[in-house]
Structure 1
């Protein structure tokens, strides 16, 4: 929570920056509002400023004229290209992305630094030598700036005011050690954003430790189908090659940047899996948070009866995919790829069923009612499948954040994944209805050409064949009971599960 601080100065301070403005016009009421922020809330990747290139004059010789920085300030360029500035002052070490080459901005930043120094002195707060201050001028509020501190020794982020996690836009925590993980993640984010001046301030052991973490993660992924480690076996192998190439070398800004990014990801994984807590998530499908979706068993059952038990299958898969609102991108790719493959193959099969319906209409004595029912089901299956394929095109290669956004939007607060499961089921379910109407139509036509005994025998043989296939291709089911096979729609649910076993 921010706090307004009052002080007096000997002269008016009026500082104008572009596009940011910091103005303190009255010596008797001059103040600066400090807005605590985090390294994830600085808007680093959301900047909207543009550049206007223009022609200029090239000076003779090999030298170029550069702007002069204030004393104790240095300029660095992040590996991604963002320039930032670092001050190794007598009292505070400061980093900022503000343009310190601009005298107005430099004066504003210096004023903010002096204000924070005075605030620390007034409150009798002594910072460790390993502390570092981040500053950002506000362009939405006058007389204010955003800030946070990091401590390179304890690898944490902190503030001079008492804060709560909600006001900092942080996730809820379950313990003090859980909060420390969240603060360490913020610390590594800061190091990733400002790595170039830290070459002599971070120990080489950060590379050795991350190698140990990824070596264990790779082994865990290789030996477990439900590992919680966020990187796949292949990704671990590639990253270990990169990390091993830097082991034992002096740290430079480029190495610090990507190692900090990996530590950021590991801290996030540890936070979401409750690493080191009384109850930790040891299995990817283990839900740690209570369900916030009401149970609509009757509605799910009704949808299952109408759609051949397929919605329950998709609900189970989607729930396992999005446990505690977290998604593993490799599992997402498997699920979506299987769905896309299933919808595509359904379109091929339903086209054959549609052709068969049209041909049956030409047979003397054909029932136009049964034919139209089957044709309508085929057309609905083709339409729903085509729309789903178009809607999910490219999502099989989506990032984890894109997948999480998709699943978060797809999950209803009232019905969970039931609406999405029903939609996912439509192509296959409508195809099964078209086959059902087609089979009834064929039997209806047979009754015109054969006696009742032949028709009954054909029906018996078809039912026996389906039961035998399901019985002998489902060894996990109770082999001594036919009740499982005789449940409505269970045949088709098993067929679907076997076809989509890759999921």
Structure 2
């Protein structure tokens, strides 16, 4: 039975809601599960007749009223939600302008208040209740503005709430505070805004982050130096509007370095999968996914670097294939020519597929990147096979170059003799070794050591002469 809300007193509404309330279940959830960004709705557009004088003062539509102490608020992103003043204060995104929804919400609030009274659950003016109607069931959580934490009226576990495992009460406290700030982000318009002390503290956090980003390559802060500077500027400009609901903030985990793992992670088995060519990519994937956390800047830098490397491999493979056109009439070993062309073709194909696959992923945010890496990480091999796929285009191109070089040496042996070809091979081999040695870290360290010894011997000679 539809009851006009505007004609319904609060006491009558509670009576109707109590009589018609369902026997659904009361379910604990977190502020991550409000479903704010999962809602979808479609409106069917159609023509409509406009009667004469429809919007004149005498013919304005009758307004829809909310019960006493209820108020409607609009999130800066446009989402409508409702708040009831009282102890506890109640917040919901259920559409209370619909009488049957209002009856459900009021009935569940009465039921929760009865449970709170039976359990002697501590309530104050700082405690806020969120409820979400799910069919006949009701999902809920409490937040305490005094302690900045999220809580529930019955014992529940982090696993049941879909939260990550924790190792201590202090870490659980940080996790519950993060959930509190998520609630504030979703419902910022009704509680009076943040305090000036909170805003100043946040400015100090971002100021420290700027210095940390400038002096450390492994900063734990998820935003870049430029983004931190922009945040500081925005926050300072907001000091005169701390009561406005558009002020939001974030809470970070505590660790000393971004690449410092805190959670225990068993050693990867079957490390033979990681070839020399793929260890570089494996290190990058492991570095960007420490403790299953992803930082946007590091993710974008890794994907950008991989795309640059794959494009370089594709260019090299393409020019290698083009070189076969010039050698087509000269080659005397078709097997080597076919092998090198196949390797170059596989490198070009692999790099093209990887570029096509990962170019859209370059703009992923931290959450999207984290979900993606979770899905491709093997419980046994971790990122070894992924790193192997990443390394294939460059490895195939290098093997193609080696086979092409062998084919060139074979042609030199036919046209100029075996001795000449062997000499060219030895010279090329020594040149490669010299390049590898002079560009290696060990060579530079050895050179520095020799320079230090020479300096000490020169000082000793000068001292003895004096």
- With structure 1 as the length reference, what TM-score do the two structures score? 0.80
- Aligned partner of 2:405 among 433, 439, 453: 439
> Which of these residues, 100, 121, 124, is aligned with residue 125 of structure 1?
121
Contact conserved, 2:222 with 2:297, CA < 8 A, in 1? no
Which among 238, 256, 279 is matched to residue 312 of structure 1? 279
Structure 1 residue 292, shift from structure 2 partner: 3.8
Partner Cα distance (1:224, 1:12) in 2: 59
Q: What is the SS of the residue equivalent to 1:40?
A: helix
Match in the other structure for 2:29: 37
| Alpha-carbon contact 2:273-2:385 (below 8 Å) kept | no
- Say if 1:252 and 1:64 are closer, same or farther in 2 by CA, change over 3 A: farther
Determine whether 1:196 maps to 2:196.
no
SS in 2 for 1:148: strand
Q: Does 1:109 align with 2:105?
A: yes
Q: 2:92 maps to which residue? A: 96
2:218 corresponds to which of 218, 226, 250: 226
1:466–1:253 Cα change, 3 Å: same
- Aligned to 1:312, the other structure's residue is in SS state helix
Structure 2 CA distance for aligned equivalents of residues 480 and 97 of structure 1: 68
Cα-to-partner distance string for 1:270-302 (whole Å, 9 max, x where unaligned) = 1xxxx2xxxxx31222122222463213333xx
Summarize the alignment of residues 285-296 of structure 1 with structure 2, pairs less than 5 Å apart.
285-292=259-266, 294-296=268-270
| Gap regions ≥5 residues in structure 1 | 1-8, 16-22, 25-30, 276-280, 482-503
CA contact (8 A) 1:32 1:115 kept: no
Offset of residue 359 of structure 1: 2.4
CA distance in 1, matches of 2:17, 2:362: 60
Among 235, 241, 265, the alignment partner of 1:243 is: 235
**What do residues 315-347 of structure 1 show as CA deviations (whole Å, max 9, x unaligned)?**
112111211111111111111111111111222
Match of 1:81 in 2: 78
1:68 counterpart = 2:65? yes
Deviation at 1:165, TM superposition (A): 1.2
Partner of 1:18: none
Q: How far has the Cα of 1:53 moved from its partner? A: 5.0
Q: Which residue of 1 aligns with 2:315?
A: 348
1:375 equivalent in alignment to 2:349: no
CA distance in 1, matches of 2:434, 2:179: 59
Classify the secondary structure of the residue corresponding to 2:31: coil
Q: Give unpaired runs (5+ residues) of structure 2.
A: 1-13, 448-466
Q: Structure 2: how far apart are the matches of 1:12 and 1:454?
A: 99
CA distance, structure 1, for counterparts of residue 443 and residue 299 of structure 2 = 28
The one of 396, 410, 417 equivalent to 2:383 is 417
Contact preservation (8 Å) 1:220, 1:227: yes
Question: What is the count of residue pairs matched by the alignment?
Answer: 429
1:212 deviates by 0.8
Aligned-pair CA distance for 1:238: 0.7
Q: Contact conserved, 1:471 with 1:479, CA < 8 A, in 2?
A: no
Kindly tell me: are residues 248 and 407 of structure 1, through their superposed partners in 2, closer, same or farther at Cα, counting changes over 3 Å? same
Aligned residue in 2 for 1:145 = 138
Cα distance between partner residues in 2 of 1:147 and 1:45: 17
Q: What is the CA distance between 1:33 and its match in structure 2?
A: 2.7
Find the aligned partners of 2:443 and 2:130 in 1 and give their Cα distance: 62
Cα distance, 1:412–1:250 mapped onto 2, change above 3 Å: closer
In the aligned structure 2, how far is the partner of 1:64 from the partner of 1:81?
23
| Cα displacement (A) at 1:157 | 1.0
Q: How far is the alpha carbon of 1:126 from its aligned partner?
A: 3.5
Q: TM-score, normalised by structure 2?
A: 0.86
C-alpha distance in 1 between matches for 2:158 and 2:441: 51
Do the aligned residues in 2 keep the contact of 1:215 with 1:240 (CA within 8 Å)? yes
Q: Is the 8 A contact 1:293 1:413 kept in 2?
A: no
Take 1:126 and 1:13, find their aligned partners in 2: how far apart are those partners?
A: 24
